[in-house]
Amino acid sequence: EDQVTQSPEALRLQEGESSSLNCSYTVSGLRGLFWYRQDPGKGPEFLFTLYSAGEEKEKERLKATLTKKESFLHITAPKPEDSATYLCAVQAIGNFNKFYFGSGTKLNVKP
């Protein structure tokens, strides 16, 4: 069964304190892994797509990496405006109509 597990559920950081969020996945052939950011009261907003193990994508203070079983979202020197819930999702080969989402990591960056 295709599934996605994210950890930790919540993470509190001081401004400037780097850390990583984890997304473990089980899928019958990965077509793509996606990271989204969700602010309170808003819909998820796309950040990255990763397609194959070893791939990395960067955007400002965020860097996403992918292995055959998990993905990490590294946050370098975070700022309070990085506070949000980060969602991971996968799309399987042969079933591209469906996206399987994790339950997210709620990040709180204190000034």
Partner 1 sequence: EAQVTQNPRYLITVTGKKLTVTCSQNMNHEYMSWYRQDPGLGLRQIYYSMNVEVTDKGDVPEGYKVSRKEKRNFPLILESPSPNQTSLYFCASRPRAADTGELFFGEGSRLTVL
Which residues lie across from 108 on neighbouring strands? 12
Per CB under 8 A, 104 contacts partner 1: yes
Q: Which two tokens stand for residue 102?
A: 């994790």
Verify binding: residue 32, partner 1, rule CB under 8 A.
yes
Nearest distance from residue 46's CB to partner 1, in Å?
4
By the rule CB under 8 A, 97 interacts with partner 1: yes
Do residues 72 and 58 touch, judged by C-beta distance below 8 A? Answer: no
- Written as six digits, the tokens of 48 are 């990255």
Q: How far apart are CA 25 and CA 67, in angstroms?
A: 10
43 binds partner 1 (CB under 8 A): yes
Applying CB under 8 A, does 91 fall inside the site for partner 1? Answer: yes
Total residues at the site for partner 1 (CB under 8 A)? 23
